[in-house]
Amino acid sequence: MKSAESPITLHVFVCTNQKPPGKACCALSGGKELRDELKDRMAKKHPELKSKVRINASGCLDKCTEGVACVIYPQGEWITHASLKDLDQLEEKILALVKNI
Ligand code: FES
């Protein structure tokens, strides 16, 4: 095993988990679409942050009935009930957090 300091300063994990039919999950709430749109937006509008910010798909964050669930690190900030309507707000939050790191 090897370890090294990460160049990434902010990780945004967006749950895209799909559960069996009949069970609440972020995939049903648009998790994959939200993650893809947020990632595309950050890449297009803020290419200078490519080496610092990652918008990752995650597995279940145990907030399945409150999806789409997201968590931002290193702050450890949880976001629930997120949707495509929140893209502007998520972008603003990411920019503010990166500025303060
Ligand atoms: S499926 Fe997203 S938190 Fe569980």
List, run by run, the mean pLDDT of 10-residue segments along the chain (101 residues). Answer: 94 98 97 98 97 97 97 97 98 94 76
Angle at 43 between CA 69 and CA 72, to 5 degrees: 30
pLDDT at 67: 92
Kindly state the tokens that stand for 41: 């937006």
pTM reported for the whole predicted model = 0.95
**CATH numbers and ranges of domains, the chain:** 10-95 (3.40.30.10)
pLDDT at 101: 76
pLDDT at 15: 98
Q: Is the CB of 67 under 6 A from ligand 1?
A: yes
Q: Is the CB of 15 under 6 A from ligand 1?
A: yes
pLDDT at 20: 96
pLDDT at 100: 81
